[in-house]
Structures are given as C-alpha cells and as structure tokens.
Amino acid sequence: MALIDIAELARRSGVPASTLRFYEEKGLIESLGRRGLRRTFDADAVERLSLIALGRSAGFSLDEIADMLGDGGAPDIDRAILLTKAEEIDRTIHRLGALRDGLRHAAACPAPSHAQCPTFRRLMTIAAERTRKAKGKG
C-alpha cells in the first residue's frame, strides 16, 4: 500500500491541496495518518478522487457522493441506498443521452429555428427533465 503525502496526491489527482483538506473534512476522502504535520494518503485515493469528480460532473452533490462511495472502501451502507443512487444515475444517463443528441442535432441542423423541430423539441424535453430537483429533503 503506497503512501503518498498531500502534495503528491494533489499532483497526481490534479485536485488542489486545499480541496483535499476540504474533502477530508467532509468525509469524502480519508488520510491514513501524518508524517509530521503532513497528511499521508493511500495512493488509491487518486482513483477515489476521480470517482468524486465523476459524480460532480454528473450533477451529484458532495453529500450524495459521500453516500454513494461510502466510508472507507467497504460500502456496507444500506444496499437500498446504493440501488437508489444507481437508479438516479440511470435517469441522468438517459437525460444526458438526450442532451448529447440534442447538441448534435443543433450542430448538424441548419434550420434557423430548432424550437420548431419536433426531434429537437423532444430531445430538449427529455434533457430538461427535472429529475432530482427537490432540495430540502428527499
């Protein structure tokens, strides 16, 4: 198990040290200890950070990502939560698919008004679906 310090993790992951500290505070990543003052991390944290970035780019909040990834490496958390997240991701995938197709259509179609195009409108409607819009509590 390779140990790396925060600077090295920042370098490898591209995530600023300040963000790594912030993520640790939020419980998204975990440092294994200190060497002097400095946090040390498992080199695998790089992978976890990629997952976090992925979740972010999919529109999940840090709290949601924390739920999905679980504490440490063992997701013994309620399997129902995992399945719920999987469902949400599935809907996101669907929405993103429509979005991607909509963008491609907009790029390809020379028509002055996409708003009139049934294909584009249908895709837009799917893409704009308000999936997990509830902010307060689910």
Partner DNA sequence: TTGCCACTTCAAGTCCACTTGAGGTCAAGA
Partner DNA sequence: TCTTGACCTCAAGTGGACTTGAAGTGGCAA
> Does 85 participate in binding DNA (rule CB under 7 A)?
no
Residues with Cβ within 8 Å of residue 41, at least 6 apart in sequence: 3, 4, 5, 6, 9, 29, 30, 31, 32
* Candidate ranges 3-11, 20-28, 31-39, 101-109; the one touching a second copy (CB under 8 A): 101-109
* Candidate ranges 36-44, 79-87, 94-102, 104-112; the one touching DNA (CB under 7 A): 36-44
Q: Which of DNA, a second copy, none does residue 55 bind to, with CB < 5 to 8 Å depending on kind?
A: a second copy
Q: Which of a second copy, DNA, none does residue 86 bind to, with CB < 5 to 8 Å depending on kind?
A: a second copy
Q: Which of a second copy, DNA, none does residue 30 bind to, with CB < 5 to 8 Å depending on kind?
A: none
Residue of 3, 14, 18, 43 that binds DNA (CB under 7 A): 18
- Secondary structure of the chain in HEC code, one letter for each residue: CCEEEHHHHHHHHCCCHHHHHHHHHHCCCCCCEEECCEEEEECCHHHHHHHHHHHHHCCCCHHHHHHHHCCCCCCCCCHHHHHHHHHHHHHHHHHHHHHHHHHHHHHHCCCCCHHHCHHHHHHHHHHCCCCCCCCCCC
Which residues of this chain interact with a second copy, rule CB under 8 A? Answer: 14, 44, 47-48, 50-51, 53-55, 57-59, 68, 72-75, 77, 79-80, 82-83, 85-86, 89-90, 92-93, 95-97, 99-104, 106-108, 111-115, 121, 124-125, 127-131, 133
